[in-house]
Amino acid sequence: MSGPILPTNPLIPPPHDRHCQRRSADARFRVYSGRLVLLRGSFIRGALAADGAHRVSKTGNHGSIIIRQIERTGLGLWYCETRSEHDTNPVDNLADLAGKTVIVTGAARGIGASTAALFNSHGANVVLVDLPQAKDAATSLIESFQYPEKSLFAPANILVWKDLVSVFKTAVQRFSKVDVVVANAAIMESKPVLDVEVDEAGDPVESLEANRVIDVNLKGTLNTLRLGLHYLSQNEPSATGSRGSIVFVTSTSGYFGSTGNAAYISSKHGVVGLMRASLRRAASLGISLSSVAPCYTPTHLTAGFGQKITDAGLNANTPEGVASVAASLACDGTAHGLACLVWGGYKRELERTRQELLVSWLGNDLVDSMTKFGQLMDSMGGYPLPQNKD
């Protein structure tokens, strides 16, 4: 841990009280129109007593996200609400994408392909990153784009450092800079990794499948993040001090583990930890770091049981719906530290909500002690790293 449990966010502007609208304490939340919803209130037996609404926001091309903050004793609780997943109202903040350069990993299929297409449709230059064998799929995708001339396929294995360096250098050479990075590439195990096989001698065999999943999903995301921070930090800051944004596509499996896919779930928990650990560094560079955490989304990774989801009366995600959240986070200057869970018509913020609930969960005394420890680490320049590498 390298900072206070409840850090301030330098990328989030203060609320504009001139937008305040009075509401009764027992009023239900409503979807407003405008820029950003900020509610102030307190929790009473698990219910929110809201006494004011300040700023209102809508994002998402295929679904509207409403981000709200509840301030209590100086802390902030953020969460998302949504209209219909099929809301087709235009996305105001994506209009700024024209001329921006976006790198999307795992871009040839699924969520990555939808994300690349959405960015391109708003005039962004898009660099599609995927394995060399995905060239045909990526080429066909680019041909379907609204602005195919603004896109290119950059074959790379995100586990091979020189491959990824080449991707970023190619993007800069072609489009002059990189503004947004969407770290989407991921895989899932094809067999249970906790089932231990034995070799001819009867000895247990290492799970190469588990290693592969964790390597791609966690190490590959770390590689992408490191290069994203390096290249985006070279951009000239905007009027608000922003040099760009990085969005992780993680998963509800990064927060919940009930499905039993041990390697995938472990790797996605790792990605959540990677985001948390990197927020302070990213903010110091003027880079927004956030994530979208989709639940079941029909893609090549989840093929085979989509009909059962429908038969159960569940409204599954669409790749386009998840892409709209990723794009909105990338374009929102206040999204640093946000993680938005996406499940069908539901969208909920996870990370700032978790911070707000720490006192209720752990108690004031423990949170106070841990916060002081974090402040001590800050005064020391961060957690002292061990010098002995053995």
Backbone phi, psi, residue 70, to 5°: -110, 120
Instruction: Report whether 308 contacts 250 (CB < 8 A).
Output: no
Give me the amino acid identity at 297: T
Tell me how far apart the alpha carbons of residues 211 and 189 are, in angstroms, rounded to a whole number. 10
pTM as predicted: 0.77
Local structure of residue 62 (DSSP, 8 states): S
Matching residue, tokens 């509840």: 70
Nearest to 30 by CA among 83, 93, 91, 85: 83
Structure tokens that stand for 42 in this block: 């307190």
Say if 32 falls within a structural domain.
Answer: no
Tell me the three state secondary structure of residue 150.
helix
Say if 189 falls within a structural domain.
Answer: yes
Structure tokens that stand for 132 in this block: 């060399």
Say if 213 falls within a structural domain.
Answer: yes
Tell me the three state secondary structure of residue 174.
helix
Structural domain including 124 reads: 93-194+205-343
Strand partners, 333: none
User: So what's the pLDDT on residue 166?
Assistant: 98
Say if 52 falls within a structural domain.
Answer: no
Say if 53 falls within a structural domain.
Answer: no
Say if 271 falls within a structural domain.
Answer: yes
Per-residue pLDDT of the chain in tens (390 residues, 90 and over written 9)? 333 333 333 333 333 222 222 222 333 332 222 223 333 333 222 323 233 333 333 333 333 333 444 333 233 333 343 333 333 333 457 878 899 999 999 999 999 999 999 999 999 999 999 999 999 999 999 999 999 999 999 999 999 999 999 999 999 999 999 999 999 999 999 999 999 999 999 999 999 999 999 999 999 999 999 999 999 999 999 999 999 999 999 999 999 987 789 999 999 999 999 999 999 999 999 999 999 999 878 766 666 666 777 777 777 788 899 999 999 999 988 899 999 999 887 889 999 989 889 999 999 999 999 999 999 998 998 888 888 776
User: So what's the pLDDT on residue 301?
Assistant: 61
DSSP string, 182-247: EE------SS-TTSPPB-TTSPBPP-HHHHHHHIIIIIHHHHHHHHHHHHHTTSPP-TTS--EEEE
In whole angstroms, how far apart are CA 318 and each of 62, 252, 321? 9, 15, 5
Say if 82 falls within a structural domain.
Answer: no
Nearest to 339 by CA among 349, 324, 328, 354: 349
CATH number at residue 290: 3.40.50.720
Nearest to 140 by CA among 131, 128, 157: 128
Q: What contacts 112, CB < 8 A, 6 or more positions away? A: 104, 105, 106, 128, 130, 182, 184, 185, 249
Nearest to 320 by CA among 90, 114, 123: 114
Say if 19 falls within a structural domain.
Answer: no
Q: How many domains, in total, are found in the chain?
A: 1
End-to-end C-alpha distance for the chain, whole angstroms: 22
In whole angstroms, how far apart are CA 98 and each of 58, 102, 122, 333? 20, 11, 6, 16
Tell me how far apart the alpha carbons of residues 78 and 66 are, in angstroms, rounded to a whole number. 10
> Within a 10 A sphere around the Cβ of 291, how many other Cβ atoms?
28
